[in-house]
């Protein structure tokens, strides 16, 4: 394994420390200020990443399919203008081009970064839940190149996977650089997902909502909404300044919902789109599993699958590449009626098979875009069938194509709201939301719990970090410094594997932080050292640089979230200078939590019978404004319980310094409101009875 030189490590550490010091205030900054800064940074990278990828894809399509294969797919209105697909100049070359593209993609992925296999959006969702700091920059580069080759050679895939992975990886890198909390790290990756997809589809509002909606099947990451919106709008601005701001499929606002009887048609479409979406998800997962279990060499699987996709493409050209041009053709009544009915009916099924072969075999690309194509062409097929025998049917297929996209992929992605908004932005038509709701609701019922993204969790309570936080609600009152322990072993980056193994064994610990020039660079475990053949190998090159850490000024709830992402059961505590100041393991967590409970119990034991709960706000210039709780001169038997500050709930200590605007909850005796009003500078409200506390025994 190649170990970075001392000069390279020193430069990297200098950069990390400099940026970390200059931006360290962002960790504790108010929510909106923090995420405006970070969201803008993520959005800029997402927009530039989308520009880079679409340029690479455009070049690969021109070279591989166009120049070598003799075929150019249909194009869309917002991407160079509408043009139909060309004829096959060299039909024999198409299967070979797709096969070679799959082979090259397989060599890149399996040789350089196996994590880039398949569709990147699922990997980003998994990172949100399990290791938001664990996404590697190298994977992003491999993903972008491999996806451009896979899709550009005719493989069936979407372009949102690479762009989502680029911006999500940047969010992960920011989290490592600034030592963000696990919660903020998850938000950064979620915002990256939404901004990358929002930029490439030119749908900033839908993309923003997608970043918060996609991690769960039946829930939403509320905290990610504002960061995703900031990042997605910035990404759209950057991408649009290069590629244009027009919707991908142009403006299709001719149809306006005006007849309630049309809802029956959209109800039928919703059921059919749900069935097609369910078929897409089940086919993709089951056939992908079959291909993974095959005994064939991994690098050959995408090549053989590409050969099959090329053959399908000769019969049904719309399956080659992204397929967006096929949706554009379906939006045109004349073009749609000019297609043979059997072809219109077969395209959705062929696209499902081609996408499963291209991506499920180990190729690289997204599955979001193909899902939209499948839904759109399903809507066109429903319109063609109804048009044969249904009087009064809308004369244009546009509403059926648009609603089909919404219903099909919105249901299997379990992101109906964001997908509805995205499709509306992609087609320039917001008037179809009412019939779309009917179709999407029915599609969701048909799909049930089936999902195209296996990394999605049911809801927030199933997320490891949220689950542990719900179970230990008072951990936010315990400073991490009071719970952490001194690390038994801290390894220098130059320490040899043999010596490091001996030190870990002597101390009886499973792993240790690794430092270079006094700064943390990662962690290394005994298991990783055991697999190294050369005992003189320095541990610096083996350190896991994506390991979760926590800041020394954090509280125990942050450590709980960090421990949920670390299977080794411990995390490193760093000061702003990246120096290791402690470690927190599960026993430290339990000890600190018990200490916090004991402290709270002792405080509450001083409560007298008849105690009431009051609330007040700290007014400007009041004695409490800027004062410490222990110096306020509170009336006897009065306890400040909590402080609500800018949306964050703080458990009060004597050392808590109050600020203007803080909402304070107080346990006190009746009649103390006048004294408290003077201290806090305003009216004190009676929040409710304290439950007639009767002494310490009633609190146990």
In terms of domains, do 439 and 392 share one?
A: yes
In terms of domains, do 144 and 287 share one?
A: yes
What's the pLDDT score for residue 599? 64
Q: Are residues 175 and 184 in contact, defined by beta-carbon separation less than 8 angstroms?
A: yes
What's the pLDDT score for residue 326? 92
pLDDT at 690 over 60: no
| Secondary structure element (H or E) that encloses residue 291, with its range | helix 263-293
Residue 465 lies in a domain: no
In terms of domains, do 537 and 656 share one?
A: no
Where residue 6 falls among pLDDT bands split at 50, 70, 90? low
Q: Which of 433, 460, 487 is the last residue of a domain?
A: 460
pLDDT at 700 over 50: no
In terms of domains, do 492 and 542 share one?
A: yes
pLDDT at 363 over 60: yes
CA–CA dist 33, 39 (Å, integer): 10
Q: Which of 432, 460, 488 is the last residue of a domain?
A: 460
For residue 556, the domain's CATH number is 3.10.580.10
Q: By three-state DSSP, how is residue 496 classified?
A: strand
Residue 385 lies in a domain: yes
CA–CA dist 222, 582 (Å, integer): 32
Residue 503 lies in a domain: yes
Q: Which of 402, 431, 460 is the last residue of a domain?
A: 460
In terms of domains, do 435 and 493 share one?
A: no
Number of structural domains in the chain: 3
Between 431 and 184, the higher pLDDT residue: 184
Q: Are residues 382 and 269 in contact, defined by beta-carbon separation less than 8 angstroms?
A: yes
Q: Alpha carbon 662 to chain centroid distance?
A: 32
Per residue in 481-531, pLDDT tens? Answer: 878 888 899 999 889 989 999 998 898 888 899 998 888 888 998 888 887
Per residue in 638-665, pLDDT tens? Answer: 888 778 877 666 767 777 889 888 888 8
Where residue 7 falls among pLDDT bands split at 50, 70, 90? low
Per residue in 199-216, pLDDT tens? Answer: 988 999 998 999 899 999
Q: What is the mean pLDDT of residues 49-69?
A: 94
In terms of domains, do 643 and 587 share one?
A: no
pLDDT at 25 over 80: no
Per residue in 537-569, pLDDT tens? Answer: 888 888 888 888 888 888 777 877 787 777 677
In terms of domains, do 559 and 664 share one?
A: no
Between 188 and 10, the higher pLDDT residue: 188
Q: What is the mean pLDDT of residues 310-328?
A: 93
Residue 1 lies in a domain: no
Q: Are residues 571 and 600 in contact, defined by beta-carbon separation less than 8 angstroms?
A: no
Residue 80 lies in a domain: yes
In terms of domains, do 524 and 427 share one?
A: no
What's the pLDDT score for residue 1? 42
Per residue in 228-260, pLDDT tens? Answer: 999 999 999 999 999 998 888 888 877 777 778
Q: For residue 648, what are the domain limits?
A: 605-699
Of 10-14, 453-457, 682-686, minimum mean pLDDT range: 10-14
Q: What is the mean pLDDT of residues 210-226?
A: 89
Per residue in 364-397, pLDDT tens? Answer: 888 988 999 999 999 999 999 999 888 888 888 9
For residue 692, the domain's CATH number is 3.30.70.1450
Among all chains, which residue has been given the structure tokens 């989308």?
50
In terms of domains, do 66 and 156 share one?
A: yes
Where residue 634 falls among pLDDT bands split at 50, 70, 90? confident
Burial of 65 (0-12, 13-18, 19+ CB in 10 A): buried
In terms of domains, do 345 and 423 share one?
A: yes
CA–CA dist 21, 15 (Å, integer): 10
| Residues ≥6 apart with Cβ < 8 Å to 74 | 82, 83, 84, 85, 318, 325, 326, 328, 329
Q: Are residues 354 and 307 in contact, defined by beta-carbon separation less than 8 angstroms?
A: no
pLDDT at 3 over 70: no
Is this model's pTM higher than 0.85 or not? no
Residue 5 lies in a domain: no
| Secondary structure element (H or E) that encloses residue 520, with its range | strand 519-525
In terms of domains, do 532 and 402 share one?
A: no
Among all chains, which residue has been given the structure tokens 């320039």?
428
Among all chains, which residue has been given the structure tokens 């779309």?
436
What's the pLDDT score for residue 473? 54
What's the pLDDT score for residue 607? 61
Q: Are residues 169 and 179 in contact, defined by beta-carbon separation less than 8 angstroms?
A: no
Per residue in 95-128, pLDDT tens? Answer: 999 999 999 998 988 877 776 665 678 888 888 8
Residue 675 lies in a domain: yes
Residue 117 lies in a domain: yes
Q: What is the mean pLDDT of residues 456-467?
A: 73
In terms of domains, do 490 and 417 share one?
A: no
């Amino acid at each position: 394994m190649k170990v970075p030189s001392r000069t390279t490590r020193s430069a990297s550490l200098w950069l990390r420390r400099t940026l970390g010091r200059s931006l360290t205030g962002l960790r504790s900054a108010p929510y909106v200020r923090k995420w405006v800064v970070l969201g803008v940074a993520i959005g800029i990278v997402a927009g530039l990443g989308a520009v880079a990828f679409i340029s690479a894809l455009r070049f690969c399509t021109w070279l591989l399919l166009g120049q070598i294969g003799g075929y150019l797919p249909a194009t869309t209105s917002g991407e160079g203008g509408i043009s139909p697909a060309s004829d096959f100049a060299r039909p024999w070359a198409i299967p070979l081009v797709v096969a070679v593209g799959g082979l090259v993609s397989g060599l890149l992925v399996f040789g350089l970064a196996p994590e880039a296999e398949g569709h990147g959006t699922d990997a980003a969702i998994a990172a949100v839940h399990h290791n938001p700091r664990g996404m590697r920059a190298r994977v992003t580069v491999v993903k972008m190149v491999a996806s451009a080759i896979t899709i550009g050679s005719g493989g069936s895939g979407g372009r949102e996977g690479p762009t989502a992975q680029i911006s999500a990886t940047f969010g992960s890198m920011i989290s490592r650089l600034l030592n963000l909390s696990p919660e903020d790290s998850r938000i950064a990756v979620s915002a990256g997902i939404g901004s990358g997809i929002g930029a490439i589809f030119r749908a900033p509002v839908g993309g923003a909502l997608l970043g918060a909606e996609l991690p769960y099947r039946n829930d939403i990451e509320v905290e990610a909404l504002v960061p995703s919106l900031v990042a997605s709008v910035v990404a759209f601005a950057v991408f649009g300044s290069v590629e244009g701001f027009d919707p991908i499929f142009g403006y299709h606002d001719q149809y306006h919902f005006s007849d309630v009887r049309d809802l029956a048609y959209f109800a039928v479409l919703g059921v059919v789109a749900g069935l097609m979406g369910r078929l897409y998800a089940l086919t993709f997962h089951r056939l992908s599993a079959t291909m993974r279990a095959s005994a064939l060499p991994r690098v050959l699987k995408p090549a053989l699958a590409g050969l099959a996709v090329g053959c399908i493409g000769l019969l049904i050209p719309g399956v080659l590449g992204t397929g967006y041009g096929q949706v554009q053709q379906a939006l045109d009544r004349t073009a749609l009626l000019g297609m043979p009915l059997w072809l219109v009916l077969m395209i959705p099924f062929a696209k499902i098979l081609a996408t499963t072969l291209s991506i499920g075999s180990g190729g690289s690309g997204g599955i979001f875009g193909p899902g939209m194509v499948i839904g759109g062409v399903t809507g066109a097929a429903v319109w063609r069938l109804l048009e044969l025998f249904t009087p009064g049917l809308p004369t244009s297929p546009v509403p059926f194509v648009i609603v089909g996209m919404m219903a099909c992929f919105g249901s299997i992605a379990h992101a109906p709201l964001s997908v509805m908004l995205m499709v509306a932005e992609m087609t320039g038509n917001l008037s179809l939301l009412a019939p779309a709701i009917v179709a999407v609701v029915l599609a969701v019922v048909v799909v049930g719990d089936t999902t195209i993204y296996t990394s999605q969790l049911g809801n927030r309570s199933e997320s490891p970090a949220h689950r542990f936080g719900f179970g230990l609600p008072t951990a936010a009152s315990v400073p991490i410094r009071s719970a952490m322990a001194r690390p038994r072993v801290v390894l220098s980056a130059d320490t040899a594997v043999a010596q490091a193994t001996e030190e870990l064994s002597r101390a009886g610990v499973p792993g240790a932080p690794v430092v270079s020039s006094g700064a943390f660079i990662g962690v290394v475990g005994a298991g990783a050292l055991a697999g190294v053949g050369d005992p003189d190998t320095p541990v610096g090159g083996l350190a896991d640089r994506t390991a979760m850490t926590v800041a020394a000024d954090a509280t125990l709830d942050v450590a709980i979230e960090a421990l949920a992402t670390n299977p080794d059961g411990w995390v490193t505590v760093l000061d702003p200078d990246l120096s290791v100041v402690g470690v927190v393991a599960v026993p430290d967590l339990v000890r600190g939590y018990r200490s916090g409970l004991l402290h709270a119990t002792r405080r509450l034991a001083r409560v007298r019978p008849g105690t009431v709960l009051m609330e007040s706000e700290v007014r400007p210039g009041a004695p409490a404004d800027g004062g410490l709780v222990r110096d306020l001169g509170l009336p006897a038997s009065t306890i400040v319980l909590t402080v609500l500050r800018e949306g964050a709930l703080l458990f009060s200590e004597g050392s808590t310094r109050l600020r203007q605007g803080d909402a304070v909850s107080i346990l006190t005796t009746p009649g103390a409101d006048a004294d408290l009003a003077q201290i806090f500078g305003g009216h004190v409200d009676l929040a409710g009875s304290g439950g007639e506390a009767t002494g310490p025994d009633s609190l146990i």
